[in-house]
Amino acid sequence: MTKHTAFWDDLAHDLEDPEFLREYIAESMRIATIDAIVNALDDAREAAGLSKAELARAIKAEPATIRRLLSSTKTNPTLGTLAEVAAALGLRITLEPLPKDQRAQVTAPLLDGRTADPNKLARHLDELRTTKAKASA
């Protein structure tokens, strides 16, 4: 359980601003989604026994492009790049609905611009990001 800190209090206060709330949710979901996809692609690459350079050649990209994609903590790949890498690994990227509890915690506040419990939302989004980061470590 995360300790109660000034950070969480400040974040909860900031989440009361509809514009901040929408940007925070969108960015948090973007980070968690990209991390999950990139980590899955890297796992598939390793399972296929391909080096990053071999994968780069398969999609006619510079090896540095694949190294940055799979190694950088600040990557922001295009969907086209992710789709090309996935295809080279025999995969495709698909959409899936959020579980019902996440729709209530993420989608509703994003659409409404408000949340009944800013602390709960902040912790939930943090958990999404840190769960993905821990899975890749």
pLDDT of residue 3: 59
Encoding tokens for residue 85?
């890498």
Residue 43 vs residues 37, 39, 46, 72, 89: alpha-carbon distances, Å: 10, 6, 5, 15, 10
pLDDT digits (tens, 9 = 90+) for 106-136: 999 999 999 888 888 888 888 887 765 555 4
Q: How confident is the model at residue 101 (pLDDT cuts 50, 70, 90)?
A: confident
- Over residues 5-30, the mean pLDDT reads 90
Torsional class of 115: left (φ above 0), alpha (ψ -120 to 50), beta (otherwise): beta
Domain 6-136: which CATH number of 2.30.29.30, 1.10.260.40, 3.30.9.10, 2.40.160.40: 1.10.260.40
pLDDT of residue 80: 94
Encoding tokens for residue 53?
């350079």
Percent of the chain whose pLDDT exceeds 70: 92
Residue appearing with tokens 């989004």: 125
